[in-house]
Amino acid sequence: MDLNLAARTVVVTGGSRGIGLACARLFLDEGCRVALVSRDLRNLAAAQRELAAPEDRLLVYAANLADPAAAASAAQAVEGRFGPIDVLVNSAGAAQRSSPDELTSAVYRNAMDAKFFPYVNMIEPVLKTMAARGRGVIVNVIGSGGKTATPFHIAGGAANSALMLVTAGLGKAFAARGVRVVGLNPGRTLTGRVEEGLAVEARSSGLPIEEVRRLAQAEIPLGRFARPDEVGRMVVFLASDAASYVTATTIAMDGAASPVI
């Protein structure tokens, strides 16, 4: 299937590793110009070496997207190098998991700063320019914790739920102006962040991490965690013209772990 993405400019936040890096690789395969935005310069440099794309196809930019000014500067830098942004993929940030006994108001605030605000801060400048041009796609990689509460992901799940509402609201508000806003809720995926979450569960339960991992996978009807490239392929599809009638919704992709309507 020709996804008609060649020569489009794509920004991937959190693109230096995990799902974001998988998305970047797949967009490059489709012939896009890709900009990776992340806080960590070392991770960005490693991703740049791994992707091995020419300078006219790949840009890396370090920014803390919890700062709205930094997010606006990142968007300006990408447009200055590659031109108008056609696709924004938000995959940056994740709230630290904590046991219920560790929850405080500061933990909730940190969760919003880690997950919610990096997304909306990047959406704000990009969405406005997309609406002015009458076209564009925003894909928010959110997480199934915003749909189903779990004891170790309450604060982060609340941030994810807020992003799901933002996705639906902006998708409806800007549909008539040619901009699609779509969410994707991956379940547990083979990334460093999931390993960190398993470590928290192991510490809280007293079980070996290998047992915690086995039990977690046993709860998934497909019997395994997702791979980053599987999530990335769905992101690329949602960003393409093949999904041109999909907006203002968040799609579950969790191996049937939470079979909700």
Length of the chain: 261
Distance (Å, rounded) from C-alpha 47 to C-alpha 13? Answer: 13
pLDDT band for position 83 (50/70/90)?
Answer: very high
Domain regions of the chain by residue span: 9-253
CA angle 142, 189, 13 (to 5 degrees): 45
Distance (Å, rounded) from C-alpha 166 to C-alpha 156? Answer: 15
**pLDDT digits 0-9 by tens, 10-69:** 999 999 999 999 999 999 999 999 999 999 999 999 999 999 999 999 999 999 999 999
The model carries a pTM of 0.92
> Half-sphere exposure (CA, 13 Å, Cβ side) for 9?
19
pLDDT band for position 1 (50/70/90)?
Answer: low
Both tokens of 146, joined, read 């915003």
Distance (Å, rounded) from C-alpha 86 to C-alpha 181? Answer: 12
**pLDDT digits 0-9 by tens, 198-240:** 777 788 788 998 888 888 898 899 999 999 999 999 999 999 9
Q: Which CATH number fits domain 9-253: 3.20.20.150, 3.40.50.300, 3.40.50.720, 3.90.1140.10?
A: 3.40.50.720
Nearest to 141 by CA among 224, 71, 219, 236: 236
Nearest to 254 by CA among 112, 156, 146: 146
Residue 138: in which H helix or E strand, if any? strand 136-141
Q: How many CB atoms lie within 10 A of CB 256?
A: 10
Distance (Å, rounded) from C-alpha 254 to C-alpha 217? Answer: 11
Q: What percent of the chain has pLDDT over 70?
A: 100
Output the CA torsion sign for 37, 41, 47, 52. Answer: positive
